[in-house]
Structure 1
Amino acid sequence: MKGSTEKRLLNYAVKFKKTILIGLVCLVIAVALELAGPFIAKRVIDEHITGIETTWHQVDVQDDKYTVAFNGELYKREDRLAKNEQSLGKASLLQVGRSYYLTKSEVSQSGERSVDNGIVTVETPAGKEQAEAEKLTVAELYHFFKPEQAPIIWLLVLYVALLLIAAIFQFGKTYLLQKASNKVVERMRNDIFSHTQEVPINYYIDQPAGKIVARVTNDTEAIRDLYERVLSVFVTSIIYMAGIYTALFLLDFRLAALCLILLPVIFLWMKVYKHFGTKYNRVVRSTVSEINGNINESVNGMPIIQAYQKESQVSSEFERMNERHFDYQRKLVKLSALTSHNLVNVLRNLAFVAFIWYFGSSSLGLESVVTAGILYAFVDYLTRLFHPVNDIVNQLPLLEQARVAASRVFELMDEQGEAVDTQPIEKYQGHVQFDSVWFSYGKEDYVLKDINLDVRPGETAAFVGHTGSGKSSIMNLLFRFYDPQRGRITIDGKDTGRFSRQQIRSHMGIVLQDPFLFTGTVLSNVTMNDPNISREMAIDALKAVGADRFIDRLPAKYDETVKEGGGTFSMGERQLISFARALAFDPSILILDEATANIDTETENLIQQALDVLKKGRTTLIIAHRLSTIQQADKIYVLDHGTIKEEGNHQRLLEQKGLYYQMYQMQQGKLKEQVVS
């Protein structure tokens, strides 16, 4: 399914929506619990600390814990006086400077306060209010604070409890979102790796292996960061900011509205960063792929590089790519350094300037109705607001890096592929026919022209010709690495195009000129970890081709470790293992692609014996380099520039004295020269 990169990334996340939704619920609960803190602090300050600065009523009965005894009289706060409770008189408790005073009568709690000779004066917009006051010592003031101790302790216990519960939900959120993130990337890696097996073989010819590896590993790792860190931070920050804005609106609508300016600023900055960050990251990710491809090629070709003394040239090529990578990484760093931390600092400072202006100019005057608790809560929420803002801005580099990496991954996944179909089909008898087959690797220049051939079950057919004559192309078509543009290929009379590529190959075996061994053991290279091939079957196959002669000398014998490419084994030993692999799978059709071309004469005899075992009862097609190895073939096809020039067995072709005869005489002459020398 195609679409924008963001939409396709979202579609992957939707596959694990249950886990993600539970994680988001945990996040919302955790945020709500955390943001309850400033409200609790506001209540502690306004109701239980500065709350004692209010009107107090003198009562005659100490009927509850909120009644305060002072100088032989009983007092109760106005907000805690019951409706049916009689007041014997009013007094005010208020702070002037750093001291507290209890007036003999009620005075306003708002306004500018002063005290002189035991008289408290409060200046309000309505005028001056004065009252006789008694200065309280710390011990005396404690009487008025004492009823507030229990509520303060319970509110603080509640605050701590909410933080602990929030921590539990934060853990759940982190665990679930990261679990979902890893699941998403696991699914994506499986999808892309499966797709690499569906993409036609010509894609791999055009693309260096290192670039493909970079997309499956490096790019998907960047996407993992996107799901695990970036999106988690974005979602957490957005929900956190939403909670903070909700709290700010509950406290003061006008100041909260002023703080909304942050949102378009952040959005605008994200758009700007996306524009430049995407451009720079595309170059960086592409260069990383080129570097991987260069390293892969250099490591594999190191013997040639050193033999031809090309170290400085290879190093120069690598340095050019590395320099380009450095230049664009520097641009990304500069882009982030100029804005990320600086941007948040500027926004934070502007917000606090607005905050100070707002409260300083209009809310702290004589008519002020803003409490110390609201003031504290606002400062706390504003401070908290910039944490998610900072997190979002700091994640922008990773976000753009992941977006570019995702687009590269989806480019590979958009390559036209074919579904893998391994449904078993009936085993071949092995009758191979090419009917007027034309084939070109490109749009023009056919490498095979009007090929007609007929190989009966159990026959051995050999293909000879100069380099570029089309021998390997015939095998590529039979193995369905490619399909012909014209004509048809049949096996047992059935068109190969009717079956999937996997089904066609299921009863074929191939042995290449340069056999490839996988990391593992000798036995795992024979069985290819196929559960249908037992250990005994694999050992029998190795013995049948004569590989036991060198395996018995190995320390671990059949369980000897094979390193990448089988570099610790000789060419002949690797070839024998590949013969055993083909034999163990018991194919109906066997393809030998110049299997003896790189083998020395002494080893060739051993290989030839193994081939005789391998070919028995099978249709065998051989691409031959040494004509001496195909003299017993039932049919020999001589190719020249994509056409079949001659056809027959060895003796018949020699009698024709055509191309085959010339090739045979040339090789015989070389052999005589080698013997003489």
Structure 2
Amino acid sequence: MKGKHSTTERKLFRYALHFKKNILIGLICLVIAVALELTGPFIAKRLIDEHIVGIEDQWHQVKSADDYTVRYEERLYKRDDRLEEGEEISGTATILQVGRSYYFIPEEVPASGNRSIEDNRIRIETANKTYTADAQSLSLQQLYRFFRPEIPSIYWLLGIYVGLLFIAAFFQFTHTFLLQRSSNRIIRKMRDDLFTHIQKLPVRYFINQPAGKIVARVTNDTESIRELYVKVLATFVTSFFYMLGIYVALFLLDVKLALMCLLLVPIIYGWMRMYKYFGGKYNTVVRSTVSDMNGNINEAIQGMSIIQAFRQEKQTSDEFESLNERHFSYQRKLVRLSALTSFNLVNVLRNIAFVGFLWYFGSQSFGAEGIVTVGVLYAFVDYLNRLFQPVTDLVNQLPQLEEARVAASRVFELLEEEGEERNSSEAARYRGQIAFNHVSFAYEDDNFILKDINFQVEPGQTAAFVGHTGSGKSSIMNLLFRFYDPQIGQVTIDSHPTTEWSRQQVRSHMGIVLQDPFIFTGTILSNVTMNDDRISREMAIESLKAVGADRFIEKLPEQYDAQVKEKGGSLSMGERQLISFARALAFDPAILILDEATANIDTETEQMIQKALEVLKEGRTTLVIAHRLSTIQQADQIFVLNHGTMVEQGTHEELVALGGQYFQMYRMQQGSSKVSAM
């Protein structure tokens, strides 16, 4: 399972590399946005320590006024860190805060230590000594004078921070836009690749796989992967850089506390590994069950008329309910697993981190010799709060991550199905000679459906294949179309083995009309042209007229542009058949295959169909699979099959005269009295 997941991740990464330029630019924008946004606490730290709390310092009496001097009791004072080199001073005072009040002390005393005030005397206890001095309480107006020199710097820092936030917002928008656009392009490419690959798969794959399961992989599974690229990976990348930036800032502020915060990383990593293991198992069942449900729904809808006719609604519902219950059960397990994460996990980690934070600062920093400033304290609290937002985002995305990972493994499993090489290059039109030389064929293992089949059809001839159900008639057509290749023997066209050409080239000059013709959603014309640029509107209309379809089409309000529903539900069987004849005629095949094309047609419609068939067969090699022997009496050759072997061949007259299997079938259909009269 581990190797499978890592392979899936590598493939997802390779898909992302198709759009690496935009992704790289987006990541650079993200790094810039995170860096700009994380400057906030540092700016706040400077604003607090230097411009707000910074007035708690030594103030020196100077002679000349400038932007940083303060007038107090007719004297000019300047803060210690604002003095210029060589500036003359005539005395030193100190400003300290005790409780909520500020005091002016007309002498130099330490700015750190435990402070108390009594009868305008301040007491400062340090680790080594206790100081006492006179103190004057500052009114609000007097205090404001000492703050006033810092106001321009405060406004300037706030302006810088707001400006950085706007710039960060621009880069954040660019990062989000580029990553999401790249994500959508990745999924578009994946869906295109998947649908293209499906068309390369051999026919036997579709026989073994319900249509609903394949549809689920193209739609549901790729949509889950889209969420991975659009939301999950973007969140993981953003959270990674955000946490990295926060840790860098923490190390710049205090190395010891930053190392304590690093304990979060192995905890989160261990939790993600555990979630990956259990979440992967549960999601595999969930995604598989969704595919089964799609297949079940597709089959039920397709066969709804039969289900209702045979009153099987309850049994069908029970089958679906069984799948639905399985889906519900494993979704519930996923919900329980997710409930342990998100708020619960992050909240516990946050509380533990704040306990450690309070212990660290409470035991070491608030003593007589405090080692941190208020600004550092604020910055730490801010960064610690910020740290848990990306952690929350990461943990909340774990369910979507595992769902997408499982969906991706299913998509890549389909993409890894061995397809057939496509070569759609134009092949020269062949004459239409067909030969089967000692052909034996089995769909599975050694259960041969066709056994040593030999026959030859010359160009322009009409050959018919008759036999009871399961005799191998359709298998012959499957081999000719190269839906399959025989295990033994050779199929040739114009004396060339069909295996020398690609499957697309073999079919490029073939047409087929099925017993139940497939009509696509669209217009009557689009069903004839199949949206192929080589078939013009005029050619399509001419083909429809040639087979007699114009008689019912021109009665429609929109005529040739009339809309038809899926499978041609608004048309009769005969009308659908005529459209399929016109489709075959428009593509002008050298070889035409009619697979029981008149089996479901009533007698009146059959006469119209027969006329269309004569137009369609003209100048082409035609192979007909027929149950109604009356429709093939004019065939140049008739081949009679029985359990995969060729038992008789000849013209209609020859086979009737032979009195064998064909004669028996013909007599059953026509009536013994009519045959006797012959």
Q: TM-score range by the shorter chain?
A: over 0.9
Runs of 4+ off more than 3 Å: 670-673
Query: Residues 672 and 411 of structure 1: is their aligned pair in 2 closer, same or farther, counting only changes over 3 Å?
Result: farther
* Structure 1 SS opposite 2:448: coil
* Structure 2 SS opposite 1:427: coil
Q: CA RMSD in A?
A: 1.3
- Aligned match of 1:636: 638
- Give 1:339 shift: 2.4
**Matching of residues 4-403 of structure 1 within 5 Å:** 4-62=7-65, 64-403=66-405
Query: Residues 441 and 7 of structure 1: is their aligned pair in 2 closer, same or farther, counting only changes over 3 Å?
Result: same
Contact 1:102 1:134 (C-alpha < 8 Å) held by counterparts: yes
**CA offsets per residue over residues 22-53 of structure 1, 9 Å max, x none?**
00000000000000000000010000000110
Contact 2:113 2:124 (C-alpha < 8 Å) held by counterparts: yes
Give the Cα separation in 1 of the matches to 2:148 and 2:502. 86
Is 2:653 the counterpart of 1:664?
no
- Give 1:671 shift: 11
TM-score normalised by structure 1 residue count: 0.98
Amino acid at match of 1:103: I
Contact 1:2 1:414 (C-alpha < 8 Å) held by counterparts: no
* Structure 1 SS opposite 2:371: coil
Contact 2:70 2:76 (C-alpha < 8 Å) held by counterparts: yes
**CA offsets per residue over residues 240-270 of structure 1, 9 Å max, x none?**
0000000000000000000000000000000
Q: Where do 5+ consecutive residues of structure 1 fail to align?
A: none
Q: Where do 5+ consecutive residues of structure 2 fail to align?
A: none
Contact 2:432 2:590 (C-alpha < 8 Å) held by counterparts: yes
- Aligned match of 2:606: 604
Give the Cα separation in 2 of the matches to 1:54 and 1:671. 128
**Matching of residues 354-503 of structure 1 within 5 Å:** 354-503=356-505
Total equivalences in the alignment = 672
Contact 2:463 2:638 (C-alpha < 8 Å) held by counterparts: yes
Amino acid at match of 1:92: T
Contact 2:5 2:405 (C-alpha < 8 Å) held by counterparts: no
Amino acid at match of 2:525: L
Give the Cα separation in 1 of the matches to 2:421 and 2:192. 14
Contact 2:434 2:492 (C-alpha < 8 Å) held by counterparts: yes
**CA offsets per residue over residues 191-242 of structure 1, 9 Å max, x none?**
1101101110000000000000000000000000000000000000000000
Give the Cα separation in 1 of the matches to 2:605 and 2:367. 103
Give the Cα separation in 1 of the matches to 2:674 and 2:130. 130
- Give 1:2 shift: 12
- Give 1:669 shift: 2.3
Amino acid at match of 2:291: S
Give the Cα separation in 2 of the matches to 1:244 and 1:184. 31
Amino acid at match of 1:281: N
- Aligned match of 2:532: 530
Contact 2:640 2:649 (C-alpha < 8 Å) held by counterparts: yes
* Structure 2 SS opposite 1:448: strand
- Give 1:69 shift: 1.0
- Give 1:419 shift: 2.3
Give the Cα separation in 2 of the matches to 1:552 and 1:393. 64
- Aligned match of 2:620: 618
Query: Residues 671 and 209 of structure 1: is their aligned pair in 2 closer, same or farther, counting only changes over 3 Å?
Result: farther
**CA offsets per residue over residues 404-436 of structure 1, 9 Å max, x none?**
000111111111101221100100110111111
- Give 1:586 shift: 0.2
Give the Cα separation in 2 of the matches to 1:3 and 1:80. 60
Contact 1:2 1:8 (C-alpha < 8 Å) held by counterparts: no
Amino acid at match of 1:175: F
**Matching of residues 531-570 of structure 1 within 5 Å:** 531-570=533-572
- Greater shift, 508-517 or 663-672, is seen at 663-672
Query: Residues 2 and 579 of structure 1: is their aligned pair in 2 closer, same or farther, counting only changes over 3 Å?
Result: farther
Contact 1:57 1:75 (C-alpha < 8 Å) held by counterparts: yes
**CA offsets per residue over residues 497-540 of structure 1, 9 Å max, x none?**
01111111110000000000000000000000001111010000
Give the Cα separation in 2 of the matches to 1:214 and 1:563. 23
Give the Cα separation in 2 of the matches to 1:2 and 1:94. 62
Q: Percent of counterpart pairs with the same letter?
A: 65
Contact 1:469 1:640 (C-alpha < 8 Å) held by counterparts: yes
- Give 1:160 shift: 0.5
- Give 1:364 shift: 1.3
Amino acid at match of 2:230: E
Give the Cα separation in 1 of the matches to 2:147 and 2:447. 99
Give the Cα separation in 2 of the matches to 1:123 and 1:297. 86
* Structure 1 SS opposite 2:54: helix
Give the Cα separation in 1 of the matches to 2:664 and 2:245. 88
TM-score normalised by structure 2 residue count: 0.98
* Structure 1 SS opposite 2:341: helix
**CA offsets per residue over residues 139-184 of structure 1, 9 Å max, x none?**
0001100001000001001111111110000100000000110011
